[in-house]
Amino acid sequence: MGSNSTKKKSSYVSTTNYHQNENKTAQNDFDNIANGKFLSKSTFANKYLSLVSNNKENLFTNQILKVFSDSSQINKPQFSDGFAKFTQENRDEQIKLVFSIFDIDGDGYLTQNEFTRMIECFFEVNLEKMGKIANINDESKTFVQKFFKEVSPLLNDRISFNEYKQHSKKNQSLANNVKNLI
């Protein structure tokens, strides 16, 4: 006796290039971890996100987790939809996903402050893993200044989604790095 929710494809999975075998693998993985019910975000982060170091969550990790669920738990359809978003091949959707992760307040603009906070979190964990903790603030500020100068030559304090999208279509490295995190 199966429930309708397990038989029905989740909405995002059915509108992307997310392959059925990938969906089935994600569903089986969820069943093995959560016994088919709910998965806490902390369990998910510890299992899947390379940005979690020593059970330490940060802003970047939390923004990625929002892709899966706004609550403290992830259910099976959310789990499948989240993986579909990260593994899809549509470039415009990838760009939209990465922008939404960096746009902390969700206002449709990426400010230097938001981007700096996110990059600092990213650098903190990744540099810590490599044993290089010094100068995180300097490195992240340099990276953000260079990025904003490339995207917005007028040196605006914020970037619109369209500006980000135009830049990302020419320079795919940031979107690819975020997409490959899980």
User: Of 45, 69, 87, which one is at a domain's C-terminal end?
Assistant: 87
Return the ∠ at Cα 172 (arms to 114 and 84), rounded to 5°. Answer: 80
Residue 9 lies in a domain: no
Residue 8 lies in a domain: no
At residue 134 the predicted structure's pLDDT band, cuts being 50, 70 and 90, is low
Same domain for 82 and 157? Answer: no
Q: What mean pLDDT do residues 96-103 have?
A: 90
Name residue 109's beta-bridge partners. 160
Domain CATH for 167: 1.10.238.10
Same domain for 82 and 104? Answer: no
Q: What mean pLDDT do residues 92-100 have?
A: 89
User: Of 87, 112, 145, which one is at a domain's C-terminal end?
Assistant: 87
**8 A C-beta contact, residue 132 and residue 119:** no
Question: Which distant-in-sequence residues (6+ apart) come within 8 Å of 68 by Cβ?
Answer: 41, 44, 74, 78, 79, 81, 82
Q: Is the pLDDT of residue 26 over 60?
A: yes
76: exposed, middle or buried (Cβ count in 10 Å: 0-12, 13-18, 19+): buried
Quick check: pTM over 0.85? no
* Owning domain of residue 43: 17-87
Same domain for 113 and 147? Answer: yes
Q: What mean pLDDT do residues 114-127 have?
A: 78
Q: What's the structural domain count of the chain? A: 2
Residue 4 lies in a domain: no
pLDDT value of residue 129: 57
For the stretch 31-66, pLDDT in tens is 888 866 888 887 887 777 755 544 455 787 788 888
User: Which tokens in the block code for residue 2?
Assistant: 């199966």
CA 138: distance to chain centroid? 24
Same domain for 82 and 30? Answer: yes
